Amino acid sequence: MAKIPINIKTGNTEQPESQSSIIVGIDLGTTNSLVSIIKDGEAIVLKSSSGHKGLVPSIIHFDDNNTVIVGTQAKGFLDSKPDQTIYSSKRLMGKSYKDLAAKEAVLGYTIIEGQQEDSLVRVKVKDQYFSPIELSSYILSNLKVEAENIIGQTIEKAVITVPAYFNDVQRQATRDAGKLAGLEVLRIVNEPTAASLAYGVGIDQTEEQHIAVYDLGGGTFDISILSLQDGIFEVLSTHGDTFLGGDDIDKAIVNHWNQTLKLPDPSVLRLAAEEAKIALSTQATFSTTYHDLSLKLDVQTFNALIKDIVQKTMTACAQAISDSGIDKEALDKVILVGGSTRIPYIKKAVGDFFQTEVYDKINPDEVVAKGAAIQADILAGNRKDILLLDVTPLSLGIETVGGLMDTIIPRNTKVPHRAGRQYTTSVDGQKHLKVSIFQGERDLIKDNRKLGEFILQNIPPMPAGIPKIDIHFILDTDGILTVKAKELRSNTETQIQVHSQYGISEEEMGKMLVESLSFAKDDMQKRALIEAQTEAKSVILASEKFIAQNKEWLSKEQQSSLINHVQHLEEKVRNGSKDEILNTMDKLNEYSRPLAEIALDKNVSKHLKNQQLD
């Protein structure tokens, strides 16, 4: 695949004067991206000279000379060159083409199935292909340069926020985008956690708190329920709709006008609709003229138009509360995020639903970026009183004999977390051990999601069961997993960082959890059968070895009886139920136990005799 030289065009590329480095907070948004820093103890959001509300609109345009134009300038090409102008690249992060195919029609540009090993989606612009990571890195590079110009300092380190439902792959993709943009990403923080921090939640507090964060932006809706205790944030549940937001409100207004006025091309009214919506946040009526049309809207009609959209968000809130396992009454506050929460009808609906204090004083477009700056300040060592933690949404484990999932870190474990377990080989002289890593709740790995695999090589030859192989999972605060395998007798060691082969959508994640519950009984029975088969196989191997090693003194009858028992067990491993296998194995063990004792006695006396001879 050919790669073009990319020139990133920014306003001013001169190096800033001062070389000292600070850590910034970045809200890498679907429509707008912002940078925030702490100044005189306060989080402030950096403003662009163009007066745009965020620092950089999250839009990238590839012009005819392959120059990359990011931000406000790129926005100008959305209508004239839609196939060369990429917006909402955040929606593509860590996703496969399959995940996005249904949504392809709503994107103005072309997405294709990635041919790389990761199978992640690529964006096609003319004859070039871009990964979502590259696209996000262009936005981050631009943010970095713009912010450096404003503050006159180089920026090398950042905290970046992501939605709470982002999985490991999406978080890693965001981190990689930062790296590509020349930023060291010190932490990936959940957006609702950042919003809570901006409101000072968690600072100087020890008693347990429960917070709902209601985030309605231009194109996405999220509701998250968090708990906070001793400076530890936990995401208890998260719900939402990645295609619901202010744009749908604008469309509802356009439809309304279209029904009353019968327009030839209603799409031209979108801007007027947004203007009306914003005006009605502070006034009771709106009127304007557009191409000789008189457009009017009053707040009652507006509220009636958006009732269904608001209701949808309330249904998600009810679901999030029910998933969180806490009562609505236990909530201490609800925080509003996203420009659409400025609508008074929405504020009231949220307050009425949660029956608790609504926090809306901080500009809802800036609250996440400000929280990221506070997190950056904490990491810089300026605030020692608070620690931020999240939980892992799905269990992590490895494949063991028989295709079983052996969970090493269970779901809902607080991160960062380390956990390990010892394993051994199942075959004499085994030199390599394949470690396959999976994510999910099912008992059989075939029903879970594979994250990666590696081979621990050069294990010195030893009988089966003798090597001690320590497998360690280290899950960091961003949900990135490092897996280490070490053979303790020889110190042979290998490790990988998990890069997933496929993106996983939040729907899929939910589906995996639901399936794990509905298949729980079935899975348990399958696991029990496989465990019995595995144990029986090792007893068969041990018995065969025993017969071969003790041939000289075992009688013909004893040998053929043992062989019979073994063959019977082999037959049950192939066709029997768990109970039949266990019963047959018990019979074999009962028969062989006295013989094994004789063998042991013989070995001991042989050993003693040898010692006397010595």
Q: Does the annotation mark 63 as catalytic?
A: no
Give residue for tokens 């506070």: 374
Joined together, the tokens standing for residue 132 give 């979502």
304/520 with CB nearer ligand AMP: 304
Q: Does the annotation mark 329 as catalytic?
A: no
Relative to beta strand 433-439, strand 449-456 is antiparallel
Q: Does the annotation mark 352 as catalytic?
A: no
In the range 206-245, which residues lie near ligand AMP by CB under 6 A? 217-218, 245
159/343 with CB nearer ligand AMP: 343
51/381 with CB nearer ligand AMP: 51
CB 447 within 8 A of CB 410: no
89 binds ligand AMP (CB under 6 A): no
Judged by CB under 6 A, the number of residues near ligand AMP is: 17
What is the spatial distance between Cα 541 and Cα 559, in angstroms, rounded to a whole number? 15
CB of 199 to ligand AMP, least distance (A): 17
What is the spatial distance between Cα 54 and Cα 413, in angstroms, rounded to a whole number? 35
Q: Does the annotation mark 535 as catalytic?
A: no
Give the DSSP letter string of 98-143: HHHGGGGGGSSSEEE---STT-B-EEEETTEEE-HHHHHHHHHHHH
In the range 414-473, which residues lie near ligand AMP by CB under 6 A? none
Joined together, the tokens standing for residue 218 give 């231009």
Residue type, 302: F
In the range 480-499, which residues lie near ligand AMP by CB under 6 A? none
CB of 32 to ligand AMP, least distance (A): 5
What is the spatial distance between Cα 10 and Cα 379, in angstroms, rounded to a whole number? 29
H or E element in which residue 238 lies: strand 232-241
What is the spatial distance between Cα 392 and Cα 413, in angstroms, rounded to a whole number? 6
209/313 with CB nearer ligand AMP: 313
Q: Binding string to ligand AMP for residues 276 to 295, with x set by CB under 6 A, is what?
A: -xx--x--------------
337/481 with CB nearer ligand AMP: 337
From 71, 163, 192, 338, residue interacting with ligand AMP (rule: CB under 6 A): 338
397 binds ligand AMP (CB under 6 A): no
Stretch that binds ligand AMP, among 273-281, 416-424, 495-503, 560-568 (CB under 6 A): 273-281
| Residues 6 or more apart whose Cβ sits within 8 Å of residue 399 | 405, 406, 436, 438, 445
163/218 with CB nearer ligand AMP: 218
312/450 with CB nearer ligand AMP: 312
H or E element in which residue 34 lies: strand 32-39
CB of 295 to ligand AMP, least distance (A): 16
CB of 54 to ligand AMP, least distance (A): 7
Q: What angle do CA 133, 138, 141 make, to 5 degrees?
A: 115
202 binds ligand AMP (CB under 6 A): no
CB of 8 to ligand AMP, least distance (A): 24
274/332 with CB nearer ligand AMP: 274
What is the spatial distance between Cα 173 and Cα 179, in angstroms, rounded to a whole number? 10
Angstrom CA distances, 110 to 72, 107, 509, 564, stand at: 22, 8, 26, 66
From 202, 339, 467, 503, residue interacting with ligand AMP (rule: CB under 6 A): 339
In the range 523-552, which residues lie near ligand AMP by CB under 6 A? none
163 binds ligand AMP (CB under 6 A): no
340/477 with CB nearer ligand AMP: 340
Joined together, the tokens standing for residue 393 give 């949404």
Longest dimension (CA), the chain: 117
164 secondary structure, DSSP code:
T
CB of 9 to ligand AMP, least distance (A): 24
- Residue of 146, 148, 191, 399 marked catalytic: 191
Q: Is 112 helix (H, G, I), strand (E, B) or coil?
A: strand
CB of 278 to ligand AMP, least distance (A): 4
| Residues 6 or more apart whose Cβ sits within 8 Å of residue 268 | 290, 291
32 binds ligand AMP (CB under 6 A): yes
192 binds ligand AMP (CB under 6 A): no
Angstrom CA distances, 468 to 357, 382, 534, 536, stand at: 56, 44, 19, 22
- Label residue 119 left, alpha or beta by phi (over 0 means left) and psi (-120 to 50 means alpha): left
Q: Of 399, 477, 464, give the one whose Cα is nearest residue 426.
A: 464
Q: Of 170, 160, 99, 163, give the one whose Cα is nearest residue 133.
A: 170
Joined together, the tokens standing for residue 586 give 């018990």
340 binds ligand AMP (CB under 6 A): yes
What is the spatial distance between Cα 257 and Cα 253, in angstroms, rounded to a whole number? 6
Q: Binding string to ligand AMP for residues 350 to 379, with x set by CB under 6 A, is what?
A: ---------------x--------------
CB 361 within 8 A of CB 240: no
From 28, 155, 162, 343, residue interacting with ligand AMP (rule: CB under 6 A): 343
306 binds ligand AMP (CB under 6 A): no
- Residue of 134, 146, 215, 487 marked catalytic: 215
CB of 221 to ligand AMP, least distance (A): 10
479 binds ligand AMP (CB under 6 A): no
CB 35 within 8 A of CB 104: no
CB of 288 to ligand AMP, least distance (A): 16
Residues engaged in binding ligand AMP (CB under 6 A): 31-32, 217-218, 245-247, 274, 277-278, 281, 338-340, 342-343, 365
Catalytic residues: 27, 90, 191, 215
